[in-house]
Structure 1
């Protein structure tokens, strides 16, 4: 067995074990309320960072103004509880419209 195959098997077993720990320990380990709040806030921060990276950059450079404005329109529509299809189409139409008039 090569080192690559061994590394893949070790990572596969580790991934399976990591996923199995959640259901096995559910209800047996109690996290403090403050830690639960911090974990929830951390998840939100990571999602916002991912959104900002995807919305503002392309190939390591600024993506232009059309994409962030489209994402902003989509965010406002989602905040106003518009249906998902309306959110996606609104963001796409805004971005396409801005690009059509020459806003990069």
Structure 2
């Protein structure tokens, strides 16, 4: 086996073990309320950071204004509780129209 296959197998075993720990320890370990709050906040911060990185960067640089505008339109539509298809199409249409008129 080469190093790549070994690494893939190690990550697969680690992922499975990590997912198994939750149900196995459920009810046996009690986390303080403050730790639960911090974990919840950490998950939100991580998702926002991933969204920002995907919306603002491309190939290590700024993606241009069309993509963030599309993401913003999608966020507004989602906040207004539009159906998912409307959110996706609205975001794509916003970015597409801006790119078509020359706003990169």
Same fold (TM over 0.5): yes
Whole-Å separation in 2 of the counterparts to 1:75 and 1:97:
17
With normalisation by structure 1, the TM-score equals 0.89
Aligned length: 103
- Superposed, 1:1-104 pairs within 5 Å as 2=1, 4=3, 7-104=7-104
- The structure-2 alpha-carbon separation of the partners of 1:49 and 1:7, relative to structure 1 and needing over 3 Å to count, comes to closer
Structure 2: gaps (5+ residues): none
Structure 1: gaps (5+ residues): none
* Deviation (angstroms), 1:14: 2.8
With normalisation by structure 2, the TM-score equals 0.89
Mean alpha-carbon deviation: is it higher for 6-15 or for 38-47?
6-15
- Corresponding residue SS for 2:29: coil
Whole-Å separation in 2 of the counterparts to 1:35 and 1:75:
29
- The structure-2 alpha-carbon separation of the partners of 1:7 and 1:94, relative to structure 1 and needing over 3 Å to count, comes to closer
